[in-house]
Amino acid sequence: MNPKSESLINQIFFEKYKIIKKIGQGSFGRIYSCQNITNNELFAMKVEQNSIHNNILETESKYLLYLKGFEIPEIQFFGHTERYHILIETLLDKSLENLYSESHGNFNLKDICMIGIQVLYRLEFIHNKYIIHRDIKPDNFVIGKNNNRKIIYMIDFGLAKKYRNPKTLVHIPFKITKRLTGTARYAFVNALKGGEQSRKDDFESLSYMLLYFLRGGFPWQGIPGMTKGEKYKKMYYMKKNIGAEKLYENLPQDIYI
């Protein structure tokens, strides 16, 4: 069975980690809170169907180990069962998307600026490690728990990639892959047309994320299409041709990016 349909509540994995409740869901599978039954510590557990076609959690586990530090979730364990890939990491709180929804789309300008500053620091950290995230969106930034509630953590590195060889410092070549990596709503035109991404794409997606908080939405949200490819094509041309005046209409001039 797929973890999206099977109840794993109260099951114990690796003779140590007991699942408590579901706290989220992604394209790879589900996210649970779990407890280390040897010391009662709480963690987040991501569960992905074990398949040669699914390796998002394995990719993420490698990047979490490599990026250890500076408000990145700390990996506790990564392993396999007969049916699942399982990643156990720091348990965090609500995402920026959750908080924005709870505020009824009413983040104030100061909050948005503070979010932008913290996210820029996170991008600086991973870019200095020669990594690009490739899926910048409100769901992938999460506040900490308890005393860390003012800290924004960057999560979900399953689509991350090295943009430069750490030894030779040679940048990856540009190519057209013809497949979008990331989330269409926040992807810039290069990513939407399947272009090889770089640091610039992370920053452009950040600008869209902040605009989303300011505007409450985009003209390309809900754009129709018979297929996903057709929808992405329409979105590409809309983003390519829309003017700054339209995007920044009725917004404070100081935030023009």
Is the same domain home to 80 and 118?
no
- Quickly list DSSP for 35-53: EETTT--EEEEEEEE-BTT
Cα 194 vs. chain centroid, distance in angstroms? Answer: 18
Instruction: Using DSSP, state whether 136 is helix, strand or coil.
Output: coil
User: Of 207, 215, 216, nearest to 252 (Cα)?
Assistant: 215
Q: Domain limits at 174?
A: 96-255
Number of domains in the chain: 2
Q: Per the domain annotation, does 104 fall within a domain? A: yes
Of 36, 54, 89, at which residue does a domain stop?
89
Is the same domain home to 166 and 207?
yes
Is the same domain home to 120 and 234?
yes
Q: Per the domain annotation, does 4 fall within a domain? A: no
Q: Per the domain annotation, does 1 fall within a domain? A: no
Of 49, 72, 89, at which residue does a domain stop?
89
What distance separates the 2 farthest-apart alpha carbons in the chain? 58
Of 89, 108, 128, at which residue does a domain stop?
89
Is the same domain home to 77 and 101?
no
Reply yes or no on whether the pLDDT at 62 is more than 60. Answer: yes
**Domain at 39, CATH number:** 3.30.200.20
Q: Per the domain annotation, does 220 fall within a domain? A: yes
- Count of positions (residues) in the chain: 257
Is the same domain home to 136 and 231?
yes
Q: Per the domain annotation, does 228 fall within a domain? A: yes
Q: Which pLDDT value is given to residue 89?
A: 97
Question: What is the token pair recorded at 215?
Answer: 């505007």
Reply yes or no on whether the pLDDT at 60 is more than 70. Answer: yes
Q: Which pLDDT value is given to residue 157?
A: 95
pTM of the model: 0.92
54 phi and psi, to 5 degrees? -115, 115
**Rounded distance between C-alpha atoms, residue 77 and residue 210, angstroms:** 33
Is the same domain home to 76 and 160?
no
Q: Model confidence over 199-240: pLDDT tens digits?
A: 999 999 999 999 999 999 999 998 988 898 899 999 999 999
**Domain at 172, CATH number:** 1.10.510.10
Is the same domain home to 44 and 103?
no
Q: Which pLDDT value is given to residue 52?
A: 59
Q: Per the domain annotation, does 127 fall within a domain? A: yes
Asked if residue 57 lies in contact with residue 48, where contact means CB atoms within 8 angstroms, the answer is yes
Q: What positions carry a catalytic annotation?
A: 135
Other residues' Cβ atoms within 10 Å of the Cβ of residue 230: 12
Q: Per the domain annotation, does 193 fall within a domain? A: yes
Instruction: Using DSSP, state whether 153 is helix, strand or coil.
Output: strand
Is the same domain home to 140 and 193?
yes
Q: Model confidence over 64-79: pLDDT tens digits?
A: 999 987 899 999 999 9
Reply yes or no on whether the pLDDT at 3 is more than 60. Answer: no
